[in-house]
Amino acid sequence: MSALSAHYELPKNVERYLAALSELYGHEGKRQLQELIVNAGIVVHEGWSTDSWNGGTYGHALFLTIPKPLFLSCVKQKDELSALIATDLNKLHSFKNECIAEVFIDLAAGDNLDWRKESGLQTMGKRITSPDAIKRIWDDDCFRLFLSHKTEVKKETAELKAQLRAFGFSCFVAHEDIQPTQAWQDEIENALASMDGFVALLTDNFHESYWTDQEVGYAFARGVPLISVRLGKDPYGFIGKFQALSCSWASAAEEIVRLLLKNDRAFSAYIKAIRACPNWDAGNVLGLALRGVAGLSAQQVDDLISAYNETDELRGSFAFNGSKSGQYGPGLIAHLNRQGARQFRRSPQRLIEDAP
């Protein structure tokens, strides 16, 4: 293949591999890298470099143009991030004699495709939440969950927020999180534009609030995971298309987490939470979500086992070790064994290992 007559395959397939890389970063909890490629405009410069190794290798340059807030948040790391993206893309594709030689991150706005919207990270219209606003609204390395509610249940909603935090979820509750000195509508829009998921707490008067319906519409348009919790009112309108949880305030947190564990970002946040388990009682609370563990990838199964084997407090909790199944459930091994052909057992050292 000569430089003049080269028929390149990698450049015309780069979007496919970027989509796969977005999913990989989402699973691994690498938010900054995923946000960068999700919101980037893509240009490939073919035949950027050549060398004579292995019959000749042709390198292409990938230009990622990103919105200003994202660019400013990563400008001091852009060389490192560029190198990581190039390395990870080259691990994914299998085109011989071609590679991504360099990735360049630049300041601009680009068009977005469907896979970006489906990631739940795509910004709405021209609104892009600044890094300062994100830091102010959300806890780091958590699944960002917007709780839409009526003022009359702000106490119950604040308690639900605290319960969900134990599972690795950072929740936005307007009446609790917005300071009097801030423009409250602007802050709500910042939260809606940067959330990972949305929960509508459907109490009797939910529909009477102009703002709750607006919030539901915003979440529906963004395409983030959306859950309605039936607390006196049935789902209606856009949200009527989604299955509602029928539960009490007392059980709402664990039911919400169980549903959201099907989302890679939520699962990654849960893994971080169980790795940081401070004591056996906290492990019993975290174990309430195990019934939602289903359809896991091989990597997610390994992540759960690794977290269990490396965390003494988790192994000591009844919900994870299964020693009091009548009260706390059958334990992690039982939940993993219902996943598929791969089976597990407890080793003499009380660790989880593959069964022969």
CA dihedral 163→167→169→175, nearest 10 degrees, is 0
pLDDT in tens, 115-134: 566 666 665 555 678 888 89
pLDDT at 211: 80
pLDDT at 5: 43
Half-sphere exposure of 120 toward its Cβ, with a 13 Å CA cutoff?
A: 21
Q: Retrieve residue 120's tokens.
A: 């739940």
**Contact (CB, 8 A) for 272 and 30:** no
pLDDT at 207: 76
Who has greater pLDDT, 309 or 188? 309
CA 285 to chain centre: 21
Handedness of CA 288, 136, 149, 241 (dihedral sign): negative
In the predicted model, what is the mean pLDDT of the chain?
87
Whether pLDDT at 71 is above 90: no
Whether pLDDT at 175 is above 90: no
- The pTM (predicted TM-score) of the whole model is 0.69
pLDDT in tens, 266-305: 999 999 999 999 999 999 999 999 988 888 888 999 999 9
Who has greater pLDDT, 131 or 239? 131
Which run of H or E residues covers position 343? none
pLDDT at 2: 45
pLDDT at 324: 94
Handedness of CA 264, 265, 268, 269 (dihedral sign): negative
**Contact (CB, 8 A) for 22 and 46:** no
H helix and E strand count, the chain: 18, 10
CA distance 331 to 317: 9
pLDDT at 3: 46
Whether pLDDT at 89 is above 60: yes
pLDDT at 176: 59
